Amino acid sequence: EPAGDGDGARPRPPISFELFPPRTDAAAIALGRTIDRLAEADPAFISVTFGAGGSSRDRSLTVLRYMLEHTDVEPMAHLTCVGSSHAEANRLVREFLDAGVTSFLALRGDPPVGAGPEAGIGDLESAAELVQLIHRVQEEREPYGQVGIPGIPGATRILERPRPERVAVAAFPTGHPRSRGAGQDVDVLLAKEVAGANLAITQLFWHADDYLGFVERARAGGVTIPILPGIMPVTTPARLARLEQLTGVPAPSELAIALEIEPDADAQFDLGVDFAADLAGEVLAGGAPGLHLYTFNRHEAVLAVLDLLGLRTIPAHAGTERNTRER
């Protein structure tokens, strides 16, 4: 029986998912179906990654628009600022706001591979500056202000600006690859909170203590915003190795070995899902405010994780009420 149903049980912790923009038409169609399935789990938001330098801008927007038009899920746009001028970053934020997206994950992003340490950094040097810019653009936006009240000649009222729902930022429980030490990772996160971030989402980690220890250090360092643990069920040895390359976070040897010696794909799937569900259960028990699940654009593994944790919202069937046991 899922946790959180009736009887004064604790409400389900918020669940969110992360996707990347598809590169082909076929992948785009498959992603639409994935989004529909993920939406049935009633996530707090689904975030869509953004290629540093803007390479995926249009494809990211297409996915976000799909969510706005076909689901009632809150879309969150990752945005990067590395290599952009102030004017370009301004235009980018406006474009996403104009599309109806009001939640962002503000990132610095990485300079192109092969670029020198200072090459292509542009005007904005850190995610904190992008956080400030998002708030500023939001505040300057037209056309909010006084509007007439229909049916009452001469009467007006003030239309409130839609505030950014969430301005999230990245956090690195096991340290950013370029970090000079654990203290710096907390300082950088605090700087982003001071700039206006209201949520942090972590990089992958493989041991609950990495996350829980980081949260403890962040709280001691003055960070107060929620820090959502980012968790990914990894169901093939090749993907686990690739993630280590991409994130710089060493893969857990017990999972790596288990995946390597298991020949059967279904059994590999179960290994990855079990590992992620155990990790998620441990961080939730340790006080995590929710779960952010990296999907790799597939719904099966993340929904299986939620099933194991008893956190899946049962999809509504034709003609029945939508299941609304959240919050």
Query: For ligand FAD, which is the closer residue by CB, 271 or 276?
Result: 276
Query: For ligand FAD, which is the closer residue by CB, 227 or 284?
Result: 227
- Choices 68-76, 100-108, 139-147, 250-258 (CB under 6 A): range interacting with ligand FAD: 100-108
Residues within window 165-194 making contact with ligand FAD, judged by CB under 6 A? 170, 176, 178-179, 184, 188, 191-192
How many residues make up the chain in this entry? 327
Give the number of other Cβ atoms within 10 Å of residue 141's Cβ: 14
Q: Which of 127, 186, 255, 259 binds ligand FAD (CB under 6 A)?
A: 127
Nearest distance from C-beta of residue 168 to ligand FAD, angstroms: 8
Query: For ligand FAD, which is the closer residue by CB, 119 or 265?
Result: 119
Q: Which of 45, 50, 205, 214 binds ligand FAD (CB under 6 A)?
A: 50
Q: Does 49 bind ligand FAD (CB under 6 A)?
A: yes
Query: For ligand FAD, which is the closer residue by CB, 11 or 183?
Result: 183
CA distance 275 to 296: 16
- DSSP string covering 6-64: STTPPPPPPEEEEE---SSHHHHHHHHHHHHHHHHT--SEEEE---GGGTTHHHHHHHH
**In contact, 149 and 89? CB cutoff 8 Å:** no
CA distance 214 to 257: 27
Nearest distance from C-beta of residue 267 to ligand FAD, angstroms: 29
Q: Could you give the string, one character per residue 57-96, with x where binding to ligand FAD holds by CB under 6 A and - elsewhere?
A: ---------------------x-x----------------
Measured at the alpha carbon of residue 139, what is the angle toward residues 93 and 91, in degrees to the nearest 5? 25
Nearest distance from C-beta of residue 243 to ligand FAD, angstroms: 12
Query: For ligand FAD, which is the closer residue by CB, 203 or 313?
Result: 203
Annotated active-site residue 1? The verdict is no
DSSP code, position 144? -
CA distance 268 to 250: 19
Q: Which of 108, 166, 299, 312 binds ligand FAD (CB under 6 A)?
A: 108
Instruction: Please list the alpha-helical segments (H only) found in 248-264.
Output: 253-261
Q: Does 237 bind ligand FAD (CB under 6 A)?
A: no
Q: Which of 1, 18, 300, 321 is catalytic?
A: 18
Q: Which of 102, 126, 132, 174 binds ligand FAD (CB under 6 A)?
A: 126
Q: Does 203 bind ligand FAD (CB under 6 A)?
A: yes
φ, ψ for residue 180, nearest 5 deg? -85, -5
Nearest distance from C-beta of residue 324 to ligand FAD, angstroms: 28
CB environment 250-284: b (16+ within 10 A), e (fewer)? ebbeebbebbeeeeeeeebbbbbbbbbbebbbbbb
The tally of CA atoms less than 13 A away on the side-chain side of residue 85 is 3
CA distance 214 to 55: 32
Q: Which residues contact 288 (CB under 8 A, 6 or more apart)?
A: 13, 211, 215, 227, 228, 229
Nearest distance from C-beta of residue 184 to ligand FAD, angstroms: 5
Positions marked catalytic: 18
Contacts with ligand FAD, residue ranges (CB under 6 A): 49-50, 52, 78, 80, 105, 107-110, 126-127, 170, 176, 178-179, 184, 188, 191-192, 201, 203, 230
